[in-house]
């Protein structure tokens, strides 16, 4: 019975993770890798994003806007990622990513949970 109760608690998180994966693959994967050790593409590798400094993929050449955020010591968490995904250029003016935010709040939450939650790519 405990296993069934635990599964019921985990199901919403797992569903959100799958939804986030689907949105990520449709909207983000053409520029961002999410497998540990994969080289960056046009955007940085996002494996292990939770707790990582903004601009923290050492293999990627960031814009001055993200280099400044890294120097400030800002780190990624779900809330910061959701804010970023709503309007990346407004959060970091001069960002090279351009106008690639996610308009739907549900999509932003799903992607943030997918990239920073307990089942996030490491």
Q: Domain with 58 in it: what CATH number?
A: 1.10.760.10
Does residue 15 have a pLDDT over 90?
A: no
Confidence tier at 122 by pLDDT (50, 70, 90) = confident
Q: Is 121 within a domain?
A: no
CA distance 103 to 40: 25
Q: Is 52 within a domain?
A: yes
For residue 4, the model assigns a pLDDT of 42
Does residue 110 have a pLDDT over 90?
A: yes
CA distance 1 to 44: 43
Tokens 């992607």, located at residue: 111
Provide the residue range defining the domain that includes 30: 2-116
Q: Is 10 within a domain?
A: yes
Domain count, the chain: 1
Collapsed DSSP state (helix, strand, coil) of residue 53: strand
Confidence tier at 17 by pLDDT (50, 70, 90) = low
Collapsed DSSP state (helix, strand, coil) of residue 82: helix
Q: Is 122 within a domain?
A: no
């Amino acid at each position: 019975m405990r296993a069934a109760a635990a599964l019921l608690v985990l199901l919403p998180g797992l569903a959100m993770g799958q939804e986030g994966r689907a949105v990520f693959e449709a909207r983000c994967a053409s520029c961002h890798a999410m497998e540990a050790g994969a080289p960056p593409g046009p955007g940085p590798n996002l494996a292990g994003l939770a707790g990582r400094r903004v601009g923290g993929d050492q293999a990627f050449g960031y814009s001055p806007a993200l280099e400044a955020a890294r120097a400030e010591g800002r780190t990624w968490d779900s809330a910061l990622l959701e804010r970023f995904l709503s309007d990346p250029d407004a959060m970091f003016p001069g960002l090279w990513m351009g106008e690639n935010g996610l308009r739907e709040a549900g999509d932003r939450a799903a992607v943030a949970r997918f990239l920073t939650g307990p089942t996030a790519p490491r």
